[in-house]
Structure 1
Amino acid sequence: MKFKPSIKPYTGAAGGWGSLEATTRFVLDSKQALKNLRNLLRVNKVRGFDCPGCAWGDDNHSTFSFCENGAKAVSWEATRNAVEPAFFAAHSVSTLQQQSDYFLEYQGRITHPMRYNAETDHYQPIGWPEALALIARHIRQMDNPNQIELYTSGRASNEASYLYQLFGRMLGTSNFPDCSNMCHEASGVGLKQSIGVGKGTIRMDDFEKADAIFVFGQNPGTNHPRM
């Protein structure tokens, strides 16, 4: 059956109280509400830490320097939910592939290195020495370093990303993109060709001086930093 595109009414909140309600719900669902409220007051502050959801600069102009997605990312990083080996013993990979992204995200953090067993279709726990030896063996079997790609999430910390790319350079490759890099590569090239710099040129103060603000292709409540 051929897919027929259609336009449907959107009843969700794009900002305002609806966005605030969703942010509060995620903070409470983390089961570490007080800790995450303190964290959110420090996001993108000069003496705080960078939001794991975007690359907005340090700012002391406002109390809340994050968007709805930023609040979700900060709350999730502090989760106490944990995925123990027993979880993978009870769920095959084929079963997990049928689950929603929401379900998988809310199971929590993986606590042990895991190795896939094709015969049982399950992930099985493996010790760190064995895991590192397995990785090293595969790296040594490569014909050249550029056969490896070190992909990571844009939500990884700056420190973790630095160590990751340093490892790649020691191997002799620069194949380590992250999801943010891949998403913004095209816009960065286009902006540099058109205005001479590959990122936005505005400052927070510009919003207060503007007579009109145009937003294209964004959901201001969830995606646009603190719009």
Structure 2
Amino acid sequence: MEQELYALGLVHAEEYLLAVADMKQQLEESGYVFADSEGRARASLVCHALGITQTNPMELGMSAGRFINGRNPKFPVVTLRGESGIAPLALKVMRERYGEEGHVAPTVEYVKYGLAKAIRAVSGALGQQHDVSSGAEAIGDWMHDERLRDVEDRIAQFPQRRFVREGSIVLSARPLSEFTSLIQQVDGTVAVAFDSHTCTELGLPRVNILGSTALARSKNKRQFDTLF
């Protein structure tokens, strides 16, 4: 564990793991259910000691190097799986505890046009009608138009819309506005202006919260069984 603690100290991940453990504990004390942690965190003795994971990685024969490599340490990302609908609750807990000055925010996801939607949008703007619902043949005919041949490269990869991913949460000891862009949705929700992959590339600390209907059913069954 000493080597793992040393590696975590090199990337300053101590407060991050404490915040994740605190959020998980608070939700569990409120009656919410989590499965054992997924991904590389299962190999971490520190995560196990903090209660982030349930199974001792030594019993599984896992090396802490799978979670963080002491020779080339990179900031870890913890993934938790809880009952369905738990992601917005986790975000709420972390915002109430740490986010008064913008230390916590979800990421966004950008949905690209894709070729079919790009064809509809561009042809509509040009006053043309092209039915792309029939698939590749209709698309191929339309692409023979010299004016529109490069639509796939120029339009198809453009973002068409975005939505907030409440289960992908960025944490920071400093206000996020000091070093990254934030956006405000129509409903007032503030989010980081990048998707989860970009946040990872930028080194922004992030925790993933996944939902499971199976866990919710299991919890409901146990609650039902206690009535009899």
Q: TM-score with structure 2 length normalisation?
A: 0.24
Q: TM-score with structure 1 length normalisation?
A: 0.24
Larger Rg: 2
Higher relative contact order structure (alpha carbons within 8 Å, sequence separation ≥ 6): 2
| Larger proportion of strand | 2
